[in-house]
């Protein structure tokens, strides 16, 4: 809250460390991007190949789940430090929503 200006001098070592971290993150993102494109391609291919719907539907749902996780952890930086609260709230919300959906499909519309 203070408005006095702080100047933080960074040492040569810190600079190198940050550079290494950044290039590592870049490599991860490119890799994950490639995986995601590959998964999308596989999903389209299974439909195109005319496999049974009992194989295609679960497979696509599985890929969708993997893609969401990759998106969250690599592109939205959930794998980094300081995201504990966000993860806590997201997973709590998912658990609550899952319970609701489970209850609705089992005891209302069974």
Dist CA 87 CA 100 (whole Å):
20
> Of the candidates 3, 6, 10, 81, which one interacts with other proteins according to CB under 8 A?
3
**Footprint of other proteins on residues 68-97 (CB under 8 A)?**
85, 89, 92-93, 95-96
Crossing angle, helix 53-70 and helix 12-48, to 10 degrees?
Answer: 170
Half-sphere exposure of 30 (CA within 13 A, CB side): 5
Contacts of residue 86, defined as CB under 8 A and 6 or more positions apart, other chains included, come to 78
Q: Is 107 in the site for other proteins (CB under 8 A)?
A: yes
Binding residue count for other proteins, defined by CB under 8 A: 18
Closest approach of other proteins to the CB of residue 55, in Å? 31
Residues that bind other proteins (CB under 8 A): 1-4, 85, 89, 92-93, 95-96, 99-100, 103-104, 106-109
């Amino acid at each position: 809250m203070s408005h006095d200006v702080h100047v933080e001098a960074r040492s040569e070592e810190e600079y190198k460390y940050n550079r290494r971290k950044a290039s590592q993150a870049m490599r991860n993102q490119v890799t994950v991007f490639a995986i995601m494109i590959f998964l999308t391609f596989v999903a389209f291919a299974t439909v195109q190949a005319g496999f049974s719907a009992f194989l295609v539907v679960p497979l696509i749902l599985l890929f969708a789940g993997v893609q969401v996780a990759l998106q969250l952890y690599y592109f939205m930086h959930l794998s980094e430090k300081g995201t504990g609260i966000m993860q806590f709230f997201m997973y709590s919300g998912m658990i609550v929503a899952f319970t609701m959906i489970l209850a609705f499909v089992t005891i209302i519309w069974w």
